[in-house]
Structure 1
Amino acid sequence: MTLLTTAPIRRLSRADLPRCLDLCTDRGWSREDRKWRLLLTAGIGYGIDDPQGDGLIGCCVLTHYGPGLACVSMVLVAERHARRGLGRKLMTHVLEEADGTPVFLYATDMGRPLYEQLGFTPVTRSATRVGRLAPEPEREAGPLTRPATASDLPALLALDAEVFGADRMPMLTRLPAFAEHVRVAECPEGLTGFAAAWSNVDNTVIGPVVADSTATARHLISDLAVHTESEIRLDVDVRHPELGHWLDTHGVTPSTANTLMIHGAPDLPGDYRRRFAPLMVALG
């Protein structure tokens, strides 16, 4: 019998964090400690142990957003066991665990063929943009943004549920502790957007970015960027070309791209017009 047929898949815990990071190193990925801590707390990790040692030879994470949507991410197979069907084994297991719930993911160009074979269909592309945001000589007129407070949480959750189309409350209630900065935009009628900035290994990720307009998204991003001296990263939906052009002209340019794909539904719920960037591609 082969490793493919005999290797069991088990649930991971926070104690498996070093093994997940070692697997990232094996595949040339960054050791994103803070990101993995959040994923293994908010989601369900699955892994395959190395029969010859105490490490992992494969893993992935499934994160549920209420009963109607889930996200799969961090699909990794050790280089020495690549192209032997372990990625397919993990993904098949995750789809069985999802039990008919629509599942989405952000696919690299290398991973996309496998996901298409498993029934995922493309929705849109997302451009990963990295750079130092150049300050504007004069700030354009637009909505004011301010640091979020605890009293903003109910309105923020209501806005996100409307825009995202699923219940992200368990994730977003962790956002103030996870992110260094969370800002909201508002008008007299209430919140019109929010965004967060959190430190990763070698940059500061700005996400999620939820806004009623491109102008609001720009103000939120600008007001978060001034609080960091590192490069910023945003994963911007290509269906927002105006924001992409603004970032291009201000020094935050595309480096890589991913395809947003979904299984079990024709499209993601919610309103993509107000969904400018995900919290991270591992979570949507």
Structure 2
Amino acid sequence: MTEPSPAELPVRRLTLDDLPACLDLAEDRGWQREEHKWRLLLSVGQGYGIDAPDRPGGLLAAFVLTPYGTRPDGSAEYTCVSMVLVAERRARQGLGRRMMRHAIAESGSAVPFLTATPNGRPLYEELGFRDVGSLVFLSGTFTGEHPPPSGTSVRAATAADLPAVLALDAVAFGTDRTELLTRLPSFASRFVVAENGAGDLTGFAAAWPNPTVTIVGPVVADDLATARALTADLCTRAEGPVRFDVDTRHEELHDWLRTHGLDGDYRCSLMIRSADDLPGDIGRRFAPYSVALG
């Protein structure tokens, strides 16, 4: 029997019940089975997928769309497109393009952005996305430490810190991420804040578990010294190797991480469609929550 063309395969919304199928699809393409991250993505965002006609319960393709901010009409300001996957056996048949066109359509008036692998970048460029930056994935065993700036302390975050965390993040990220950040205490293995002598919050950061490393992110701070102090606290307390996805615009942080045991040269592109740049203040945004979330 002739297999249906990509245009004939319906795209449906995914739920947490589809988590095993998402993990199987990721593994099919050589990705890790990142259950912890997928569970968060399918909770704060909306997953979409195409069922596999030849494998009941399986998926041929998938992606996740995470909305940020709210306009007066109730629509999102931005959407982050992530986890764009097509089963190996149906690669290069137009399913990736089909899924991305669906993501753009579902974004509506919101501005879509994403982190593109080198393989995915040509398709995204064809669909109108443009580069606005890049990330380098660094990993290894952290070998240094960095004391907080004079008058600043780093400590574990508490529920009372959340309003100040949300306020700082709104400036750094440029739009509201309340739903995502309120899940950080349960998602992260460690969640810390920095505060000055007056008790004002000057930064926050978290680390969370992945199958083979502890990922550091987000890291949001008023300055580089505070970002280093937050990062050092998380990295020195992590069990095993850590990974830090550093924006190449933060050259000093990049060099400091390499000096203290982290290494790597894999790069991804930050891309956006229908806008000039990502919102927020890159001077305060030192590491993403995840490359799948911005």
Q: Structure 2 length normalisation: TM-score?
A: 0.94
* Residues in 2 aligned to 1:220 and 1:189: alpha-carbon distance in whole angstroms: 16
Which residue of 2 is the match for residue 58 of structure 1? 61
Letter in 2 for 1:86: L
Deviation at 1:141, TM superposition (A): 4.5
Residues 93-172 of structure 1: pairs in structure 2 closer than 5 A: 93-136=102-145, 139=147, 141-142=149-150, 143-172=152-181
Q: How many residues align?
A: 283
Contact 1:183/1:195 (8 A) holds in 2: yes
1:36 aligns with 2:46: no
Indicate the residue corresponding to 2:99 in structure 1: 90
Distance, in Å, in 2 between the alignment partners of 1:4 and 1:256 is 31
Are 1:279 and 2:289 counterparts? yes
Deviates more, 1:253-262 or 1:118-127: 253-262
Unaligned runs of 5+ in 2: 70-75
Is 2:137–2:243's contact at 8 Å kept on the other side of the alignment? yes
Identity across matched positions, percent: 54
TM value normalised by structure 1: 0.97
Partner-residue secondary structure (3-state), 1:91: helix
Q: Deviations over 1:57-88 (max 9, x none)?
A: 10000000122111000000000000011001
Q: Structure 1, unaligned stretches of length 5 or more?
A: none
AA in 2 matched with 1:61: V
Distance 1:241 1:38 in 2: 30
Give the one of 234, 248, 253 matched to 1:238.
248
Q: 2:18 aligns with which of 16, 41, 49?
A: 16
Q: Is the 8 A contact 2:148 2:154 kept in 1?
A: no
Give the counterpart letter for 2:272 in structure 1.
Answer: I
Q: Which residue does the alignment assign to 1:223?
A: 233
Give, in angstroms, the shift of residue 254 of structure 1: 2.1
**Letter of the aligned partner of 1:261 in structure 2?**
M
Please say if residues 101 and 264 of structure 1, whose CA atoms lie closer than 8 Å, have aligned partners that are also in contact. no
Q: Following the alignment from structure 1 to structure 2, what is the Cα–Cα distance between the partners of residues 166 and 228?
A: 30
Query: Secondary structure in 1 aligned to 2:191?
Result: strand
In structure 2, what is the Cα distance between the partners aligned to 1:49 and 1:2? 12
